[in-house]
């Protein structure tokens, strides 16, 4: 986990909003559609006085909070609002929210501290400055009242939007203007003790829900700008292929067609997506653009990459796991020596395919390039990076670029700065055409050209001692990722195996960053999502080889680690895990730590003799330290389970001839409602100083728990995914 | 070709190729963006609308085939989010990213109009065409049941 240095400078800069009054800031939910819809100016709709960049308070007491983060279904708007409101102490029912201005963040030297949303970091890492913004505003309101009343600030109480001292009373609205001018000698501390929170920690409905049941929530794909034209794009089906020629004459007479725009490949730098060779057709509607594009003859040259298949990658992975790789952490040569000398060795090789984000909102971006400013509507998890990206693409000053925050139709790690090149495409085309352009990738393009989750292979070998427990573990992982960008190389490629908690006396982990032409990126719970499966199925293999119950093994091997013991003991108590169910039925467990949270899962499955799998139940037990909104946190756990089951059970991208061949939902299958197990979430919170993430950690233990359950149901040991392609029959 | 469509009880005249899928007419010609594009091959259900009360995938329905029929989109399901399915969706807090939810709600509304107390297999069958990448399925089942209660209250 990266540590961030949080500047508190921005709290101290008091500023009065244009209309006067105090703006402590967010606007929602009623005004949501209006405030976040497409705008040609980057402006606020909050009315009142700005106390700091986050908070605007109107004279009538309306509090608008500005959300510097993305709402992609994780409850980001609600989490930010809760954190600020806890310290500000205002009536939750009276809060409005609006998205913060990314351009202002840039102009004012990162005024919102962080405007990207990823890594399950919003609550766990951003809470100090978000709560701090609320606390700072509250103290300034108190100071303003204290000065007006001639009392000391310590005598003023601030509660639910009302200031009181003795028999004097006033509202936040009345003191907002004065508070905006207050300079505090020292910024207040935030309340770190969950026992003393009045708002956080209770289940809250999310603020964005009302706009998501009537079609009014605006996503980037819904952007409509006057004069806008539409583009459909086809990039080289084999990544890094070359566009040889296309015949625009063949389609230019079609209705509404405006132009064809070629796009040349440019390798991305760190933090920036690459552009692939592509051609865009621009028309007055998207359907006309897409239809014309499909009819336009295009010739590509693919080179060597056009031979690659999924099977080739697995073969290469199996070759590499037999060779020395890069050592992760400290090398322990004894691990291999002990295994070589042992008379009881367990070894297994695991493989998992490429997977794709497949956000329900297909990849798109709208850009309007004008001489003095550029406007961007993109489904991004990182608005500040989107500004820099577009500025770089166009060669303009980033301060003239306005990125409008829109709802995201799913994020899952794919919409960060290192996501897809669609925003660069839109900037390039808008500049060339001289009009606002909405670029939308057809679903087939969305899947084929996404930054995929790397294909992975790993071999794990252990020596088992006389007590049935491992004495040494030697592991090698192979992670197919592009060196040019390598966004998910490095330590991420080790997560899930390297960081297992078990007390094995000698361990050695090595990794190969294997070459591929397939662009890759982060996916929900990067690293742990692929490799956690391998480690936790292997744990069952080790435990059973040593005569141990797999859950007892995990408890034994984490002795002295109170957080792990808490999670595993809770799982044991709540799941009723057992290994003696009749054939055709099985339970399986797994536990993986990611994003600072320990997540354990117990799966209950049935498998018919003919191999039909039914996942009855998934119990997830988590220790994230603390949970500020159990309602949203539970949803995230349910969602993460579904996400990983979609890959492990029904998914799996297939590569043939260097290109992906299952690129729509008839062939790349996501989990459907009739396959979905009952998911139960239990928070076993250790408290202390831990703030773990919740948007991702429930995913990684899910596939191994199911695979381990299938073993008990069928006797078949699962070492690859998707399960749908495996023979699960039993007699 | 000029087509006049009855959308949410309002006549709308558009000039499009007759084979243009209704989805794109709704979104790009008329500006009703609540109906979403997800796959274009009728496999995700994000574009589910009602045509004469029946759930249909707008991405595979030529606009010309909808002439003379009653088209209802999410924007026309109720004026104020008061349809029992919308009420239940808010009460249970179903949506996460929300992108698929217009289609989910339209499928659910068609189901409870037809079946008063749908069983779990009936709910799963009626909703199986609607994909949700966020994994809200469990809450959808709960909310469909709640919606049928609200509808009968």
pLDDT tens digit string along A629-658? 999 999 999 999 999 999 999 999 999 999
The torsion region of residue A562 among left (phi > 0), alpha (psi -120 to 50) and beta comes to alpha
Q: What is the mean pLDDT of chain A?
A: 90
Lowest model confidence (mean pLDDT) among A148-152, A417-421, A678-682: A417-421
Report the pLDDT averaged over residues A667-686.
97
- Band of pLDDT at residue A483, cut at 50, 70 and 90: low
Q: Are A594 and A655 in contact (CB under 8 A)?
A: no
Distance (Å, whole) CA A393 – CA A232 = 19
Which of A702, A697, A693, A701 minimizes the C-alpha distance to A75?
A693
d(CA A647, CA A668) in angstroms, rounded, equals: 9
Task: Give the gap in angstroms from C-alpha A161 to the nearest C-alpha of chain B.
Answer: 27
- The more confidently predicted of residues A361 and A420 is A361
Q: Which residue, chain included where needed, has tokens 């004026």? A: B79
Lowest mean pLDDT among A71-75, A313-317, A702-706, A709-713: A71-75
| Closest to A381 (Cα-Cα) out of A398, A356, A363, A405 | A405
| Rounded percentage of chain A residues whose pLDDT exceeds 90 | 75
Any residues with CB less than 8 A from the CB of B145 and at least 6 apart, and which?
B118, B123
Nearest to A315 by CA among A158, A514, A137: A514
**Looking at the complex, does the CB of residue A211 fall below 8 Å from at least one CB of chain B?**
yes
Pairing of strands A157-159, A597-607: unpaired
- With 0-12 CB in 10 A as exposed, 13-18 as middle and 19+ as buried, what is A185? exposed
What CATH number is given for B2-76 in this structure? 3.10.20.30
What is the model's pLDDT at position A38?
A: 36
Predicted interface score ipTM higher than 0.95 = yes
Chain A contact probe: residue of B72, B91, B97, B111 with most A CBs at under 10 A = B97
The C-alpha atoms of residue A263 and residue A431 are separated, in whole angstroms, by 13
**Overall average pLDDT of the B105-122 stretch:** 97
Q: What is the pLDDT of residue A576?
A: 97
Distance from A352 to chain B by nearest Cα, in Å? 20
Q: B21 Cβ partners below 8 Å, 6+ apart?
A: A287, B40, B58, B59, B60, B61, B62, B63
Select from A222, A411, A440 the Cβ nearest to the Cβ of B33.
A222
Domain A9-210 indexed as CATH 3.30.365.10: yes
Contacts of A287 in chain B (CB under 8 A): 20-21, 24, 28
Helix, strand, coil distribution of chain B in percent, nearest 5: 45, 15, 40
Averaged over A568-584, what is the pLDDT? Answer: 98
Chain A residues near residue B105 by CB distance under 8 angstroms: 213
Residue A515 predicted with pLDDT over 80: yes
A505, A472 Cβ separation under 8 angstroms: yes
A chain contacts of residue B118, beta-carbon cutoff 8 Å: none
The answer to whether the CB of A49 falls within 8 A of the CB of A64 is: no
Does residue A254 belong to the interface with chain B, where contact is any CB pair within 8 Å?
Answer: no
A415 has a pLDDT exceeding 90? no
Q: Which two tokens stand for residue A106?
A: 């840039």
Instruction: Tally the C-alpha atoms within 13 A of residue A350's C-alpha that lie toward its C-beta.
Output: 33
Q: What is the rounded distance in angstroms from the CA atom of residue B84 to the CA atom of residue B118?
A: 14
Interface of A with B in 334-393 (CB under 8 A): 358-362
Q: Which of B23, B72, B135, B143 to mutate to test the interface with A (most CBs of A within 10 A)?
A: B135
Domain A313-340+453-725 annotated CATH 3.20.10.10: no
**Strand (E) positions, A669-711?**
678-683
Name the residue ranges covered by the structural domains of chain A: 9-210, 226-308+365-440, 313-340+453-725
User: Closest-CA residue in chain B for A356?
Assistant: B133
In chain A, residues with a C-beta closer than 8 Å to the C-beta of B19 are: none
Mean local confidence (pLDDT), A39-43: 41
Residue range(s) in chain B whose domain bears CATH number 1.10.150.120: 84-152
What φ, ψ does residue B26 adopt, rounded to 5°? -60, -50
Question: pLDDT tens-digit profile of A48-100?
Answer: 899 999 999 999 989 999 998 888 888 889 999 999 999 999 999 889 999 98
Count Cβ–Cβ pairs < 8 Å, chain A vs chain B.
Answer: 170
Which residues in chain A have Cβ-Cβ distances shorter than 8 Å to B38?
A: 360, 362, 443, 665
CB contact under 8 A, A673 and B35: no
Least confident of A4-13, A409-418, B10-19: A4-13
Pick the CATH number of A226-308+365-440 from 3.40.630.30, 3.20.20.70, 2.60.40.10, 3.30.365.10: 3.30.365.10
Q: Please indicate whether, in this complex, the C-beta atoms of B99 and A409 are within 8 angstroms of each other.
A: yes
Q: Please, which pLDDT band fits residue A486 given cuts at 50, 70 and 90? A: very low
Closest CB to A215 among B24, B34, B37: B34
- DSSP, res A498: T
Any residues with CB less than 8 A from the CB of A408 and at least 6 apart, and which? Answer: A70, A71, A72, A73, A219, A220, A359, A361, A379, A380, A381, A415, B97
Residue B9: band (very low, low, confident or very high) from pLDDT cuts 50, 70, 90: very high
Chain B hits for A631, Cβ within 8 Å:
93
Question: Does the CB of A409 have a partner CB in chain B at under 8 Å?
Answer: yes
Share of residues in chain A with pLDDT > 70 (%): 92
What lies within 8 Å, CB to CB, of B45 at 6+ separation is B38, B57, B100, B103, B104, B107, B129, B130, B131
Question: Percent of chain B beyond pLDDT 90?
Answer: 99
pLDDT band at A29 (very low <50, low <70, confident <90, very high): very low
The answer on pLDDT for A384 being more than 50 is yes
User: Residue A448 pLDDT more than 90?
Assistant: yes
Q: Where in chain B is the domain with CATH 3.10.20.30?
A: 2-76
A442 to chain B: nearest residue by CA?
Answer: B39
**Which residues on chain B are in Cβ contact (under 8 Å) with A358?**
133
A249 — pLDDT class (breaks 50, 70, 90): very high
In CATH, what number does B84-152 get?
1.10.150.120
Query: What is the pLDDT at residue A47?
Result: 83
Q: Which of A52-61, A319-328, A482-491 has the lowest average pLDDT?
A: A482-491
**Runs of H (alpha helix) within A296-328:** 310-320
User: What confidence score (pLDDT) does residue A385 get?
Assistant: 86
User: pLDDT at position A69, please?
Assistant: 87
pLDDT confidence band for A120 (50 / 70 / 90): low
Q: Do A639 and B102 touch (CB under 8 A)?
A: no
pLDDT, residue A271, reads: 65
**What is the mean pLDDT of the segment spanning A411-419?**
72
What pLDDT is recorded for position A34? Answer: 34
* Structure tokens, A156: 């003023």
């Amino acid at each position: 986990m990266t540590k961030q240095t949080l500047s508190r400078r921005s709290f101290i800069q008091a500023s009065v909003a244009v209309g006067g009054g105090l703006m402590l800031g967010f606007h929602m939910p009623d005004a949501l559609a209006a405030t976040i819809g497409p705008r040609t100016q980057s402006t606020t709709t909050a009315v009142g006085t700005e106390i700091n960049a986050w908070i605007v308070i109107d004279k009538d007491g309306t509090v608008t909070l500005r959300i510097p983060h993305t709402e992609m279904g994780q409850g980001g708007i609600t989490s930010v609002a809760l954190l600020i409101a806890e310290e500000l102490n205002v009536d939750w029912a009276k809060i409005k929210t609006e998205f913060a201005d990314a351009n202002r963040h840039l102009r004012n030297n990162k005024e919102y501290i962080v405007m990207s949303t990823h890594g399950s970091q919003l609550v766990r890492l951003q809470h100090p400055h978000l709560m701090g913004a609320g606390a700072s505003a509250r103290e300034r309101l108190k100071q303003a009242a204290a000065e007006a009343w001639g009392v000391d600030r310590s005598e003023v109480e601030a509660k639910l939007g009302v200031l009181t001292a003795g028999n004097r009373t006033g509202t936040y609205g009345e003191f907002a203007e004065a508070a905006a001018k207050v300079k505090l000698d020292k910024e207040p501390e935030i309340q770190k003790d969950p026992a003393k929170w009045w708002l956080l920690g209770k289940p809250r409905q999310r603020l964005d829900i009302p706009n998501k049941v009537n079609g009014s929530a605006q996503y980037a794909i819904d952007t409509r700008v006057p004069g806008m034209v539409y583009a459909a794009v086809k990039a080289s089906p084999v990544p890094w292929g070359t566009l040889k020629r296309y015949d625009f004459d063949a389609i230019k007479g079609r209705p509404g067609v405006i132009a064809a725009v070629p796009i040349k490949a440019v390798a991305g730098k760190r933090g920036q997506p690459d552009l692939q060779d592509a051609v865009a057709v621009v028309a007055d509607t998207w359907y006309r653009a897409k239809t014309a594009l499909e009819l336009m003859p295009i010739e590509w040259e693919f080179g060597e990459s056009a031979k690659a298949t999924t099977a080739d990658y697995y073969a290469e992975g199996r070759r590499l796991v037999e060779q020395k790789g890069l050592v992760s952490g400290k090398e322990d040569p004894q691990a291999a020596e002990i295994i070589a000398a042992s008379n009881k060795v367990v070894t297994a090789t695991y493989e998992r395919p490429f997977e794709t984000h497949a956000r329900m909102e297909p990849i798109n971006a709208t850009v309007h390039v004008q001489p003095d400013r550029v406007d961007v509507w993109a489904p991004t998890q990182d608005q500040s990076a989107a500004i820099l990206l577009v500025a770089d693409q166009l060669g303009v000053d980033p301060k003239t670029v306005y990125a409008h925050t829109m709802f995201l139709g799913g994020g899952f790690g794919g919409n960060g700065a290192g996501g897809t090149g669609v925003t660069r495409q839109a900037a390039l085309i808008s500049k060339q055409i001289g009009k606002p352009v909405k670029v939308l990738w057809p679903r087939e393009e969305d899947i084929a050209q996404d930054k995929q989750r790397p294909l992975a292979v790993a071999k794990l070998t252990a020596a088992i001692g006389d007590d049935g427990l491992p004495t040494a573990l030697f592991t090698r992982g192979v992670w197919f990722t592009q060196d040019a960008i390598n966004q998910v190389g490095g330590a991420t490629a080790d997560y899930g195996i390297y960081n297992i908690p078990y007390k094995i006396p000698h361990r050695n982990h090595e990794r190969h960053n294997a070459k591929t032409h397939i662009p890759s990126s982060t996916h929900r719970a990067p690293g742990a999502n692929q490799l956690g499966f391998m480690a936790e199925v292997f744990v069952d293999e080790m435990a059973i080889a040593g005569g141990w119950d797999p859950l007892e093994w995990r408890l034994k091997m984490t002795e002295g680690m109170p957080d792990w013991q808490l999670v595993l003991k809770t799982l044991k108590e709540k799941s009723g895990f057992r290994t003696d169910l009749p054939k055709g039925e099985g339970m399986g467990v797994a536990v993986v730590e990611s994003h600072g949270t320990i997540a354990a899962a117990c799966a209950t499955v049935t498998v018919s003799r003919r191999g039909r799998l039914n996942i009855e139940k998934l119990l997830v037990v988590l220790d994230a330290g603390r949970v500020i909104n159990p309602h949203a946190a539970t949803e995230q756990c349910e969602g993460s389970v579904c996400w990983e089951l979609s890959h492990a059970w029904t998914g799996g991208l297939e590569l043939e001839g260097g290109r992906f061949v299952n690129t729509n939902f008839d062939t790349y299958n996501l989990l459907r409602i009739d396959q979905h197990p009952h998911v139960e979430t239990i928070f076993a919170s250790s408290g202390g100083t831990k703030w773990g993430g919740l948007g991702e950690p429930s995913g990684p233990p899910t596939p191994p728990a199911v695979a381990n359950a299938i073993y008990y149901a069928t006797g078949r040991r699962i070492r690859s995914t998707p399960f749908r392609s495996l023979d699960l029959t039993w007699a | 070709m000029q087509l006049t469509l009855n959308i949410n009880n309002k006549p709308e005249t558009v000039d499009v190729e007759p084979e243009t899928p209704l989805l794109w007419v709704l979104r790009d010609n008329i500006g009703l963006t609540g109906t979403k594009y997800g796959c274009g091959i009728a496999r995700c259900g994000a574009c589910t609308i009602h045509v004469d009360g029946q759930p249909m995938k707008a991405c595979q329905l030529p606009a010309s085939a909808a002439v003379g029929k009653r088209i209802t989109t999410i924007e026309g399901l109720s004026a104020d989010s008061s349809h029992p399915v919308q009420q239940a969706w808010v009460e249970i807090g179903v949506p996460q990213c929300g992108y698929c939810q217009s289609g989910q709600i339209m499928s659910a509304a068609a189901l409870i109009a037809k079946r008063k107390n749908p069983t779990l297999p009936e709910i799963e069958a009626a909703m199986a065409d609607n994909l949700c990448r966020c994994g809200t399925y469990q809450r959808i089942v709960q909310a469909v049941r709640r919606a049928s209660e609200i509808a009968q209250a």
